[in-house]
Homo-oligomer: A and B are copies of this chain.
Amino acid sequence: MKTLKNDPPECSLNLLAMRDTLEVLGGKWKLLILHYLITRDDQINTFKKMQREITGISAKMLTKELKDLEENHLVHREQQNTKPITVRYTITEYGRSAGDLIQQLVDWGKTHRIKLLTSGQ
């Protein structure tokens, strides 16, 4: 079956898919959190540690974002048997699937910064 050149169903589908991604991974913090957990998967990343090291995020936002990410199976929450209680957050296998995306964000940002410098802005 043939599709019209300028309004193919594929275009709408792509748009829909993009909106899905932006809904799940969008906002100011989610991708930064995933990046954090991916690059520090060899460590015990507790709530407190994350809040300290992801500069600028408040407890309220970190709670909310981690909850969202957990609901989408991108992050795993595991309560430790410590006193006082600590909670370990880890990236899930599915969460890793955002790795390429994150890497591209990093790459694009680096290139953009260079462009700004060299274009004298």
Residue of B nearest to A110 (CB): B17
A105 lies within 8 A of B32 (CB): no
List of B residues within 8 angstroms of A106 by Cβ: 14, 17-18, 21
Interface residues on chain A, size class: 35 or more
Contacts A105-B101, A111-B97, A115-B94 hold; do A35 and B20 have CB atoms under 8 A apart?
no
Interface of A is mostly: helix
Q: Would A22 and B97 be within 8 Å (CB), given that A17-B110, A32-B15, A110-B17 are in contact?
A: no
Q: Which residues of A contact B (CB under 8 A)?
A: 6, 11, 13-22, 24-26, 28, 31-32, 35-36, 39-40, 42-43, 94, 97-98, 100-102, 104-113, 115
